[in-house]
Amino acid sequence: MIASAARLIRRWYSIPLLLLVWQAVAGTGLVESRLLPSPVQVGSVLFAEIANGELVYHAAVTVARALTGFALAAIVGIPFAAAMARSAVWRNLFEPIFLLGYPVPKIALFPVFTYIFGIGAPSKIAFTFLECLYPIVVTCLLAFRGIQTRLIWTAQNFGAGRAAVLRRVILPAALPSIFAAFRIALPVAMVVVVLTEMIGDSIGLGYYITIWSTRFSFSNVYAAIVTIGLCGFALDQGLLLVRRRAVYWQREAS
Amino acid sequence: MRIRPALLLNWTLPVLTLVAWEAFGRLGLLPRYLSVPSEIAAAFWEIALSGELWVALAASLWRVSAGFALGTAAGVAVGLGAGRVPAVRRFFDPLVSFLFPIPKIAFLPVVLLLFGLGHASKISIIAFSVFFPVFVAARHAVLSINPLLVWAARNMGAPPRTVFFRVVIPAAAPELFAGIRIGLAHAFIVLFAAELIGSKAGLANLISYGEEWVRFDLMFAGIVCFAALGFVADRILMAVRRRVLRGQLIGTEEQPA
């Protein structure tokens, strides 16, 4: 009991320590208190804004946008990668776009997206889709390509048709990598949505941060940052939960 | 010389897109905000001659390179430290696991107020964003080194310094580069957002000026330039990686033996 408590402290002490230092620094008044509100202030704002539903609403908007863009990218990206792995024509057509386009900072295109899709949710979702599509297609392409051909040959030898090979061999073999791609793409989706909301919107956590920083209420800004962190954590844990169900034969290596 | 059909297919979509873009634009079938490629090239030439492009490029380049260098240096140093020293690891692990999933751009308002609209605010927010992926990669790289390598070096009488510089760092290098590459991608995303939200110079400003002046050709010229900057930076990093890791890549997918 005491030993486990000591282990817990040894493992996590730095967060409370930093909070204490922060509280102490804020308490001395050395730093402008509006710029660096104490953790207690931030905490009380956080609870108040969660209780009155304000942060919950904006977080729901942000998460819904992130998940929509992410899901669209997954639905389009995985079959796309499979097609590129199977057909040489598709691969030669699209490989340069994905492999050479991968390191290009696509964020620069966001202004064009706002012209095409308007300033609201559609441009954010479309842009999130684009940003998620790249890691999903590239990671899944490598995964599909890496499937050992003898697995497929074995299945064919046993008389499995194309559909059976796809469902019983290729998909399970690629599933761990598909989830690895999801774990890269999902945080990207959160980053992109918050960022584009900060550039211009009237709802969402990114908007919340911008509006409260122009009102010089940094307690609200920090409360929103904590909320973003919680949302990101929840999304990642949710993904791991799904992964454990789907890839039950292999445990994640982290 | 025969042209390989694969190469032909590789170029099909990009060339087709450009040609169709130009053709539809000339026919007036595209909305006004989609300037055609020839106009974009002309606008590019215009700002290159007037010098606007170089001023903006210099500002963005300085911010991204300084921020990236600081963030990478800090990430590598602390990450290697966390990988080697349990006390350092225990201190940073909880903090990083809490801060890592937060988009660092969310701190931009705070950083802007602290450091103003100039270079310092962009450099610090970029460094802050680059730090995390590099730290995580460095920490994980050191921890997953085969202990036999370290034991063997020690057994042959290597002092800790030699073990660190001659065994640990080379063994961690491939994964380090993976983290640094992610950091570089983050650096450009943050650079763009930071310049767009609060700045008076840089490529993202050039892009938003193009929007404000309804000079969409200028906007696209800025976009192309920003995209090219990110692409070239990644290529340079990959070239450095190949140079540093020469010998280690033999027998892998990149350099089949």
Residues of chain A neighbouring B106 (CB-CB closer than 8 A): 194, 198, 205-206, 209, 221, 224-225, 228
B151-172 mean pLDDT: 91
* B109, B114, B230: residue with CB nearest A104: B230
Pseudo-torsion of CA B24, B38, A129, B65, nearest 10°? 180
Q: Are B193 and B105 in contact (CB under 8 A)?
A: yes
- CATH architecture observed for domain B39-244: Orthogonal Bundle (1.10)
Nearest Cα of chain B lies from the Cα of A223 at a distance, in angstroms, of 11
* B99, B106, B223: residue with CB nearest A108: B223
B44-65 mean pLDDT: 92
Q: Which residue of A has its CA nearest to B13?
A: A93
Residues of chain B neighbouring A14 (CB-CB closer than 8 A): 90-95
CB contact under 8 A, B105 and A198: yes
3-state secondary structure B51-67: CHHHHHHHHHHHHHHHH
B174-196 mean pLDDT: 92
Grouping H, G, I as helix, E, B as strand and the rest as coil, residue A203 is coil
Per-run averaged pLDDT (10 residues), chain A, 254 residues: 81 86 82 79 92 93 96 95 88 87 88 87 94 93 85 87 85 88 91 90 91 89 92 90 86 56
Is A136 exposed, middle or buried, given 0-12, 13-18 or 19+ CB atoms closer than 10 A? buried
CB contact under 8 A, A11 and B92: no
Confidence (pLDDT) at B61: 94
Is A212 exposed, middle or buried, given 0-12, 13-18 or 19+ CB atoms closer than 10 A? buried
Nearest to B49, CA basis, from B221, B253, B236, B182: B221
CB contact under 8 A, A228 and B106: yes
Nearest Cα of chain B lies from the Cα of A92 at a distance, in angstroms, of 5
CB contact under 8 A, A210 and B109: yes
CB contact under 8 A, B13 and A213: no
H or E stretch covering B242: helix B216-244
Q: Domain segments of chain A: what residues?
A: 39-246
Q: Are A15 and A195 in contact (CB under 8 A)?
A: no
Q: Are B129 and B101 in contact (CB under 8 A)?
A: no
What's the mean per-residue pLDDT of chain B? 89
CATH topology of domain A39-246: MetI-like fold (1.10.3720)
Segment of B9-18, B180-189, B247-256 carrying the highest mean pLDDT? B180-189
Q: Which residue has the higher pLDDT, B257 or A162?
A: A162
Residues of chain B neighbouring A213 (CB-CB closer than 8 A): 109-110, 112-113
Nearest Cα of chain A lies from the Cα of B20 at a distance, in angstroms, of 17
- What is the token pair recorded at B104? 């660092």
Q: Distance between CA A164 and CA A166 in Å, rounded?
A: 5
Nearest to A66, CA basis, from A204, A199, A215: A204
B30-59 mean pLDDT: 90
CB contact under 8 A, A228 and B98: no
Q: Which residue has the higher pLDDT, B133 or A160?
A: B133
Q: Are B133 and B179 in contact (CB under 8 A)?
A: yes
User: For testing the chain B interface, which of A31, A62, A92 should be mutated: the one with the most B CBs within 10 Å?
Assistant: A92
Q: Which residue of A has its CA nearest to B183?
A: A103
Confidence (pLDDT) at B2: 62
CB contact under 8 A, B90 and A187: no
Confidence (pLDDT) at A254: 46
Residues of chain A neighbouring B181 (CB-CB closer than 8 A): 103
Nearest Cα of chain B lies from the Cα of A8 at a distance, in angstroms, of 11
* A93, A100, A225: residue with CB nearest B9: A93
Confidence (pLDDT) at A6: 86
User: For testing the chain B interface, which of A191, A213, A252 should be mutated: the one with the most B CBs within 10 Å?
Assistant: A191
